Amino acid sequence: MLGWLTDQLLFLLGIALLALLVMAVLAPLDSLGWWAGWRHRETEPEAAPGPQPDAVETAEAERYVVYLSGIGKASGRWSYPEEADFIARLKAALPGTVVIDDIFPYAITVRGLEDERGFNTLWRFVNQRLLRRPTDSLGWLVNLRNIFQVAVSVDHRYGPFFNLGAAQGVVDALRAHGYREGSGRPVVMIGYSGGAQVSLGAATYLAQMLSAPIQVISIGGVMSADPGCRWVQHLHHLYGADDVMDRVGKVAFAGRWSSMKRSPWNQILAQDKITLVPMGPTAHNGPLGYFSQEPLPSGQPRIEHTVETVCRIILAGPAAAQGTGPTPSDGSPAPAEHPADEDETSWLRNASPQPHSDREGTAGPSPTARGGGQV
């Protein structure tokens, strides 16, 4: 009996490992297929519409905020109740601001896992279960699948293609909400958990595609020392004292180690372009997470504290944060100049679509061309 049980457990373990291997192999194919022109984004029109002389232009808002959810996100068509509450509070606290929260940050060509080719039956089933009960145990499948997409964003070979596709998705959403490219109006990216990495990775291309400053607000973000660090005007990182994933990110990504002085993360840290914001005894998620109704020792609900902190950062603007971040230690090298502040974008616009040549480079696919044509 014991031998039979052991055999069954080993068999199940083998299936699980095989499933992990398949997920890992398939993870970069969505973004690579999009780049090659084999797959098309759902929101991309079949043909570019001609000018509409009688059309009424959507008025541009005072501010634009884009929220990218964590790895538990299964679709851009709905959000978990606690995140929906956070977005509703954010919109109420920021009149005159467009808050975009319907982007699915873990795929380039689909708006939700229910549309994914090959496995859409499985993901539709999981999606329906999560809609009925957000705490359903099948949610771990979504987490696992999306973790691999975050890994693609970090990867120096495939990351540029994924991050360019993510940036194009953000640009499409901004256009749909009245944003005018070239207006120079700042864009604030709010990334929760893995959404912070996607926000940071996309910043390289957003800054050029929009010709506008990009500010990133990380809520418990698990981020690498992505080259996108060099393209953000400022990065605010909100972290809880009980957030285990925040500590994992600091250790897992070598570019964030203090000894890696030349990494993009440590370069902007030395330039005071990172502000670390402690959020008290807050966990990564769950009943004591950033979007929880549970009160802090001060009596303020955690979600209220998170909304208040994010709004204060947005309303103050990135300029107010200069000089408030950590100061570099003695003997640290002089920080590199910020690419977005220089006229150095022409080489990247004309670059061939090659991935990063090294972990610290900024070379990547051109933000203006893909698959032989325009994005």
Q: Which of 51-55, 167-171, 214-218 has the lowest mean pLDDT?
A: 51-55
User: What's the confidence (pLDDT) of residue 338?
Assistant: 37
User: CATH class for domain 10-41+60-327?
Assistant: alpha beta
List own/partner pairs for 34-38 with CB under 8 A and 24 or more apart: 34/108, 34/109, 34/161, 34/165, 34/370, 35/161, 35/164, 35/165, 35/353, 35/365, 35/370, 35/371, 36/371, 37/370, 37/371, 37/372, 37/373
Q: Residue 45: pLDDT above 60?
A: no
- Residue 248 tokens read as 């994992």
Question: What is the per-residue pLDDT across 73-116, written as a single tens digit (0 to 9) for each?
Answer: 989 888 999 999 999 999 999 998 999 999 999 999 888 888 88
Chain segment 137-189, per-residue pLDDT in tens: 888 899 999 999 999 999 999 999 999 999 999 999 999 999 999 888 999 99
Closest-CA residue to 278 (of 365, 220, 208): 220
pLDDT band at 120 (very low <50, low <70, confident <90, very high): confident
* Predicted model pTM: 0.81
**If phi over 0 gives left and psi between -120 and 50 gives alpha, with beta otherwise, what is residue 357?**
alpha
